[in-house]
């Protein structure tokens, strides 16, 4: 029987909050159950298993990130859109490290999280329309952008930039300038 006050949505939000505190990989059903004052078995009336809970957290995170990115992109194009999108991505990763980690898990294309993930891809493609990139260049550019954003925020989070006095925000701004320059001067596809 479902415990009063515990719902799948509250459980998902609690797992996301806990992930931000202790790391997504450290979230357990036992820890969540303690937070709700119930036995771990009571939570399984709201989620199938730990994988189901992780997908729910990923869905929440991808939705939140997509909402922030969409708000940042509103009315912007070209370099301004690129910078707004990148900053929304980085700010979310810094503010919500556990949720951000959840957003990186591999998802089944039929999963509920696939919708928000597609939304990210569509927003990125909208940014690239300002650079007039045809396929397959668009797909290559999306992968480059995600790799750059994810790599930067992951290294920043891990302290990978502490060895040099250069301000990380200044390096981030230059990275975005470089991405803009690459996108404006995209090399032709040798297979075309």
Cβ–Cβ < 8 Å for 169, 156:
no
- pTM given for the model: 0.90
In this prediction, the residues of the chain whose per-residue pLDDT falls under 70 are 1-4, 192
Number of separate helices (H) and strands (E) present in the chain: 9, 0
Angle between helices 78-95 and 137-157 (to 10 degrees): 40
pLDDT digits (tens, 9 = 90+) for 57-87: 999 999 999 999 999 999 999 999 999 999 9
Give the DSSP H or E segment for 35. Answer: helix 29-36
The encoded tokens of residue 135 equal 């396929």
Residue whose token pair is 């505190």 = 21
Domain 54-184 has CATH 3.10.150.10: no
Cβ–Cβ < 8 Å for 97, 21:
no
Give me the pLDDT at residue 151, please. Answer: 97
pLDDT digits (tens, 9 = 90+) for 132-152: 998 899 999 999 999 999 999
The domain ranges of the chain are 54-184
**139: Cβ–Cβ under 8 A, 6 or more apart, which residues?**
none
């Amino acid at each position: 029987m479902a415990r009063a006050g515990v719902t799948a949505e509250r459980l998902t939000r609690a797992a996301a909050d806990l992930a931000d505190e202790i790391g997504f990989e450290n979230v357990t059903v036992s820890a969540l159950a303690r937070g709700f004052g119930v036995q771990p078995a009571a939570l399984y009336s709201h989620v199938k298993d730990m994988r189901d809970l992780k997908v729910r957290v990923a869905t929440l995170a991808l939705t939140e990130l997509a909402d922030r990115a969409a708000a940042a992109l509103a009315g912007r194009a070209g370099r301004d859109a690129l910078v707004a999108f990148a900053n929304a991505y980085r700010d979310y990763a810094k503010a919500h490290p556990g949720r951000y980690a959840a957003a990186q898990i591999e998802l089944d294309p039929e999963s509920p999280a696939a919708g928000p993930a597609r939304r990210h891809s569509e927003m990125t493609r909208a940014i690239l329309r300002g650079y007039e990139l045809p396929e397959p260049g668009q797909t290559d550019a999306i992968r480059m952008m995600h790799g750059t954003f994810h790599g930067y925020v992951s290294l920043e989070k891990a302290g990978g930039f502490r060895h040099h006095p250069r301000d990380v925000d200044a390096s981030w701004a230059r990275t975005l300038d470089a991405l803009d320059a690459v996108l404006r001067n995209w090399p032709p596809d040798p297979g075309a």
